[in-house]
Amino acid sequence: MQKFRLLRYLKPYKVNIILGPIFKLTEAVFELIVPLVMASIIDVGIKNADKAYVFKMGGVMVLLGVVGLICALTCQYMASVASQGFGTQVRNALFSHINTLSHAEIDQIGTPSLINRLTSDIDRAQHGVAMTIRMVRAPFLTVGAIIMSMTIDLKMSIIFIIAGLLIGLILYLIMSRTIPLYQVVQKKLDKTSLITRENLEGVRVIRAFSKQENEQRRFGDANEDLTKSAVWVGKISALLNPLTYSVVNLGIVAIIWFGALQVNAGQLTQGKILALANYMSQILIAMIALANFVVTLTKAIASGTRVKEILAISPSVQAPNSSQVPAPVPGAPIICFSQVDFTYHTTGENALNDINLTILPGQTIGVIGGTGSGKSTLVNLIPRFYDITHGKLQINGVDIKEYPFEALRKRIGMVPQRAVLFNGTLRENMRWANENATDEQIWQALDIAQAKEFVQKLPLGLNSHIEQGGKNLSGGQRQRLTIARALVNAPDILILDDSASALDFATDAALRKAIARQSKGMTVIMVSQRANTVRWADKIVVLDDGHIVGEGTHEELLQTCQAYREICQSQQDEGEGEK
């Protein structure tokens, strides 16, 4: 993996990162001075009954507080700007980087994981930055309190060191046990959430089999398991407060006893004992804050690493160096596969083997074959979503790798299997291929895609709101709109990846007719499992297990291709005779 530093996104905030902690330190210094001021009030002011001195020192304390507050707020502001700015920059960079990744990387990482890294992981890293800027205070206070105790009395500071070590040990012992356990609890919580989701999605099946009680038991077990873990973690972390409290207060007991001995020997004053006791309490607060900081920082670093991993991946499909669009070779086929092999994973089996296929401009090509035969894989190579493993793939006689992405993909209209629309108006969805498409162009595309009629019936027409994923439309409507979306830009090549499966026969036929009539000159590649969808194509390609096992027209294939015959027989039998 290439070395990649996430921290470079902090660069613009250098000033904040340096000044923030300095302000914070200033506040902490003031905080440490306060007990000393109090000690001198007692030792000087009270002893000499000097009221003016008391007022003066009291005023100093308030002043220290005010300046401390201002310093602290300045630091918080700097931390907020730096950390939020850092997060914002990283988010922009990551989103843009995800956009450059090819399908191969996206398949491998998985979209849920990408989304998590882009949202919660960056949030955590950002939080880590903020905490780091603010956190100088805790270690400083701990060390500072110990040093102050040393300046007061070297022997007494031994008590501080022991107490500090003990608290550190307690924190370490408890937290090193609870942190992994909290992850276990989270996993178990996810499990209950998974079972709930399954039950909602499978409600019909569950009730059909009358398995409600069984499911309740399954959930009950998971829930009980979760409760047990949660209680167990709770029991361990419940020890934290009482133990640290005991250490600190027993430390104070020790300070009083040994302090008393020192005072008796004339080496210490009453006021200084008070100051020592005060520092002791400060150590506890600081140590707990420090422990929490360590947790946050660990999480932030883990999250940062996950983000870094993605940023360090370079896309396997690379754009050509030159942004010039190569000129087509006159007379060359529009698409030409020669001896193409393709595999998704370098070690895995080939998904496509020795594919030779020539497609001429304006032809309609049908691709048919069983599940997993490589139909979708084949068409996904044409817009260069993946790079072929072996062989040659040419568009207009030019190697596909010589085209800039945009020049290649803008020529291709792709209708994927899963019909997805985006949150926004219908018009915005139709403008995906071409930002500046006119309403006229959109209506024309809708007409070809057999969607005009129902869109006209919508009260808001092109302004109708479409929910995320297109949930407020039926499957068939969605599919027709995705077809229209691909047609808006009048592509040279239209690829329908089994995209008419949710349509009934009548709509499917009308669609094919309209494409043939209204898009003369367009090269159409139709992937389907239905023989009827492809039978009128100029050429039908039959795929089986990654190999082309038949190529030709419907009639030719019926004569020569066993696999094709089987498909047709299963789908039509005597139907044609009756017509």
Partner 1 sequence: MKKQSIILRLLQFARPHIGYLAVGLISAMVSVGLMLYTPVLTGNAIDHIIAQGNVDFAAIGKILILLAVSIALGSLFQWLLSYCTNIVTFQTIRDIRTAAFDKLNHVPLKYIDSNKHGQIISRVVNDVEQISDGLLHGFTQLFTGVVTILGTIGFMAAIDLKITLVVVLITPLSMFVASFIAKGCHNMFAEQSATRGEMTAYVEELVGNQKLVKTFCYEDRAQEHFEEINNRLYTCGVKAQFYSAMANPATRFVNGVVYAAVGITGALSAIGGGLSVGQISCFLTYANQYTKPFNEITNVITELQTALASAKRVFELLDEEVESPDTDNAVLTESDGSVKIEHVHFSYDPARTLIKDFNLTAHNGQRIAIVGPTGCGKTTLINLLMRFYDVNKGRICLNGDVDIRTITRNSLRSQYGMVLQDTWLFSGTVRENIAYGKPDASDEEIVEAAKLAHAHSFIKRLPQGYDTPIAEDGGNISQGQRQLLCIARIMLTHPKMLILDEATSSIDTRTEIRIQKAFDAMMQNRTSFVVAHRLSTIREADVILVMRDGEIVEQGSHRQLLKQNGFYAKLYYSQFENSLEP
Residues 471-510 that bind partner 1 (CB under 8 A): 474-477, 485, 501-510
Longest CA pairwise span in the chain (Å) = 121
| Shortest CB 268 distance to partner 1, Å | 9
- Binding to partner 1 (CB under 8 A) within 338-367 occurs at 364
| Shortest CB 534 distance to partner 1, Å | 10
Selected binder of partner 1 within 114, 150, 158, 549 (CB under 8 A): 114
Q: What CA–CA distance (Å, rounded) separates 445 from 52?
A: 89
1 binds partner 1 (CB under 8 A): no
Mask: binding to partner 1, 240-279, rule CB under 8 A, as x and -?
Answer: -xxx-xx--xx-xx--xx-xxx-xxxx--xxx-xx--xx-
Q: What CA–CA distance (Å, rounded) separates 399 from 321?
A: 14
Contacts 24+ apart (CB under 8 A), 264-268: 267/153, 268/152, 268/153, 268/156
| Shortest CB 346 distance to partner 1, Å | 19
Angle between helices 270-312 and 137-152 in degrees, nearest 10: 150
Residues with Cβ within 8 Å of residue 492, at least 6 apart in sequence: 334, 361, 411, 412, 522, 523
The structure tokens listed for 428 are 């915005």
Mask: binding to partner 1, 371-410, rule CB under 8 A, as x and -?
Answer: xxx---------x-x-------------------xx--xx
Question: How many positions of this chain bind partner 1 (CB under 8 A)?
Answer: 176
Task: Give the three-class secondary structure for 382.
Answer: coil
Mask: binding to partner 1, 278-297, rule CB under 8 A, as x and -?
Answer: x--x----------------
| Shortest CB 568 distance to partner 1, Å | 9
In the complex with partner 1, the residue whose CB is nearer, 332 or 432, is: 432
2 binds partner 1 (CB under 8 A): no
Q: What CA–CA distance (Å, rounded) separates 248 from 163?
A: 7
Q: What CA–CA distance (Å, rounded) separates 513 from 15?
A: 66
In the complex with partner 1, the residue whose CB is nearer, 53 or 332, is: 53
Selected binder of partner 1 within 202, 362, 391, 397 (CB under 8 A): 202
Neighbours of 234 (CB within 10 A): 12
4 binds partner 1 (CB under 8 A): no
| Shortest CB 339 distance to partner 1, Å | 26
Taking only Cα atoms into account, the Rg of the chain, rounded to an integer number of angstroms, comes to 36
Task: Give the three-class secondary structure for 149.
Answer: helix
In the complex with partner 1, the residue whose CB is nearer, 265 or 327, is: 265
- Binding to partner 1 (CB under 8 A) within 206-235 occurs at 206-212, 214-216, 219-220, 223-224, 226-227, 230-231, 234-235
Q: Quick one: which H or E segment has residue 540?
A: strand 539-544
Given a contact cutoff of 8 angstroms between Cβ atoms, the answer to whether 516 and 510 are in contact is: no
Look at the alpha carbons of 439, 441, 445, 448 in this order and tell me if their dihedral is positive or negative.
positive
| Shortest CB 75 distance to partner 1, Å | 8
Given a contact cutoff of 8 angstroms between Cβ atoms, the answer to whether 393 and 334 are in contact is: no
In the complex with partner 1, the residue whose CB is nearer, 195 or 334, is: 195
38 binds partner 1 (CB under 8 A): yes
Selected binder of partner 1 within 435, 436, 520, 521 (CB under 8 A): 435
How remote is the C-alpha of 295 from its chain's centroid?
Answer: 22
Q: What CA–CA distance (Å, rounded) separates 48 from 279?
A: 25
| Shortest CB 217 distance to partner 1, Å | 10
Selected binder of partner 1 within 16, 17, 36, 68 (CB under 8 A): 68
- Binding to partner 1 (CB under 8 A) within 532-551 occurs at 532, 536
Angle between helices 270-312 and 157-201 in degrees, nearest 10: 40
Selected binder of partner 1 within 119, 318, 324, 356 (CB under 8 A): 119
Q: Quick one: which H or E segment has residue 359?
A: strand 352-359
Task: Give the three-class secondary structure for 143.
Answer: helix
49 binds partner 1 (CB under 8 A): yes
Selected binder of partner 1 within 161, 203, 312, 329 (CB under 8 A): 203
| Shortest CB 291 distance to partner 1, Å | 16
Q: What is the DSSP string of 104-117?
A: HHHHHH-HHHHHHI
